[in-house]
Structure formats: C-alpha cells, structure tokens
Amino acid sequence: MIRFDEVSKRYPGGHEALKQVSFELEKGEMAFLTGRSGAGKSTLLKLIMLTEALNQGQILVGGRNINRLPSRQIPYYRRRIGVVFQDHQLLFDRSVFDNVMLPLQIEGFDKHEAARRVRAALDKVGLLDKEKLNPITLSGGEQQRVGIARAVVNRPQILLADEPTGNLDPELAAEIMVLFEQFNQVGVCMLIASHDLSLITRLKHRMLTLDLGRLIKDEHQPSRARSPS
Ligand SMILES: Nc1ncnc2c1ncn2[C@@H]1O[C@H](COP(=O)(O)OP(=O)(O)OP(=O)(O)O)[C@@H](O)[C@H]1O
C-alpha cells in the first residue's frame, strides 16, 4: 500500500532529514514510526502527503509513483489519506458537526449523504451527543476524537497520525490507540508517528525506528506479526 524505495529528503540549507529509507506497509497494516525528536518522523509523513518533495528514491502508494502524479491529481490523491495531528487543527468558529463535515463539503458531497457520514464518524469516536457543541468546550481527548472523526469521514484507505497523543495523559492516549486499532481492523492502513515508547511497545504492532534520518530498525512484534507466507 505504501512503499518507500531508498528515499532521501534534504531541506533547503542542506539538512538531510531522511537518508535512503526503504520499507513497505501492506494494505490494512498498522505500524508505528518512532525515533527521537528530529529523527525525521514528520518529514516521512509529509512526503506521503506530498506536502514536501523527496530528493531521491521513490514512493509508491497503491502501486503508483506519487512523485510523478500530475499536480491536478494531487488533491484527489490526498483525499484517500486521512491525517491526524497532535494539535488536531480544529476550527473554533463552528460546531463539532461542521468541523467533521468540512472534508465532505470540499468534495462536494450530497448534503444528506454527508450528514449521514458525519454522524457515523462521530458515532465511531463516541461523540454523537456532542455534535452541536463548539469544539472549544470539549476536553483535549474529545477534541482529538473530533480530529480523528474528520480524518476518517471520507473513508480513507490510509490514515497517518503525527504524535496524535502528544498532548494527552496516558489513559486518554491509550483510548485513542484503541480507536486507531478499530479503524485498522476494518482495513485502514495506519502509520502513526509517536515517541511514546511505553505506550506503543505495549500495543505490539510493527515498529519502524528512525535515527538521524535513517531507518535503523523495523520490528514486527511477535504476538501480532503476520505469519510468513
Ligand atoms: N522545513 C524545514 N526546513 C529545514 N529543516 C527542517 C524542516 N523541517 C524539518 N527540518 C529538520 O529535519 C529534521 C527532521 O525533522 P522532523 O520534523 O521530520 O523530525 P521528527 O522526528 O518529526 O521530530 P519531532 O519528534 O520533534 O517532531 C530536523 O533536524 C528538523 O530540524
């Protein structure tokens, strides 16, 4: 589903944020991306989102070389990918419902179908009863759930998350991970950047570790590793 072949990224000024990174995530796989601050986690996610461009190598998503996509196709490509941020980037001038509706509005969805999907997404994250509230009145954990509902409302095949639990206490962080596992169980391919090792090692999914831009470890943790084919 996502394949990196010898991918390198150098920022203007010469800093090499990723160095010859190669890995493959299969359809429906869930993996954590970890490493110290500055290791290149956010950069790797930005390359998948095409908000930064690579300098060397290639990235295939769903079999297509995304760096060869014509620019007019990039918005359509991005719609297949949901993104969850640490600071959830919600709009505080509108309701929870309208925040989650936003991606569907941009896509020009039929109003009734869109409303149905928004409620289904809010139901999945346990916030159906809060749809009319302004997100500013919600707790940090609830705001992050609104961000997750917005990321999944157009049913992406891939969900990327950049430190999604960075601002949450351990209990809420664990709840957010349970939600991610539920999306993964219905086939969404997930890549979650997190430096919270105590949380992610407990969850026993695949773990990719970056250090100074290099992929230094790719561990399939025993209890959930796929059986060899
Ligand atoms: N726009 C940019 N221009 C120049 N250098 C950048 C830019 N963005 C990131 N970097 C540098 O690239 C390296 C990797 O940054 P990145 O944000 O990908 O790391 P990270 O692992 O996500 O870190 P953190 O956990 O702190 O978010 C860092 O040294 C950073 O300073």
Domains (range + CATH), the chain: 1-80+156-222 (3.40.50.300), 89-155 (no CATH)
Mutate to test the pocket of ligand 1, among 41, 165, 211 (most ligand atoms within 8 A of CB): 41
* Model confidence pLDDT, tens digit, residues 68-110: 999 999 999 998 999 998 887 899 999 999 999 999 998 889 9
Whether 208 lines ligand 1, by a CB cut-off of 6 Å, is: no
What is the 8-class DSSP label of residue 31? E
Whether 141 lines ligand 1, by a CB cut-off of 6 Å, is: no
* Model confidence pLDDT, tens digit, residues 127-164: 999 999 999 999 989 999 999 999 999 999 999 999 99
- Whether the predicted interface score ipTM is above 0.85: yes
Whether 11 lines ligand 1, by a CB cut-off of 6 Å, is: yes
SS3 66: helix
Whether 103 lines ligand 1, by a CB cut-off of 6 Å, is: no
Predicted pLDDT at 146: 96
Whether 209 lines ligand 1, by a CB cut-off of 6 Å, is: no
Residue 41 Cα to ligand 1 middle (Å): 8
Residue nearest to atom 4 of ligand 1 (CA): 11
Whether 135 lines ligand 1, by a CB cut-off of 6 Å, is: no
Predicted pLDDT at 227: 44
Whether 42 lines ligand 1, by a CB cut-off of 6 Å, is: yes
Residue 33 Cα to ligand 1 middle (Å): 14
- 156/175 Cα distance (integer angstroms): 21
The answer to whether residue 221 scores a pLDDT higher than 80 is: no
* Model confidence pLDDT, tens digit, residues 25-70: 999 999 999 999 999 999 999 999 999 999 999 999 999 999 999 9
Predicted pLDDT at 209: 97
Atom of ligand 1 nearest to the CA of 40: 18
Residue nearest to atom 5 of ligand 1 (CA): 11
Q: List the one residue out of 217, 201, 194 whose CA is nearest residue 41.
A: 194
Predicted pLDDT at 210: 97
Whether 88 lines ligand 1, by a CB cut-off of 6 Å, is: no
For helices 111-124 and 140-152, the axis angle rounded to 10 degrees is 130
Under 8 Å between Cβ of 222 and 47: no
Question: 229 burial class (0-12, 13-18, 19+ CB within 10 angstroms)?
Answer: exposed
Quick one: pLDDT band at residue 220, thresholds 50, 70, 90? confident
Under 8 Å between Cβ of 213 and 203: no
Q: Is the dihedral of CA 107, 110, 111, 116 positive or negative?
A: negative
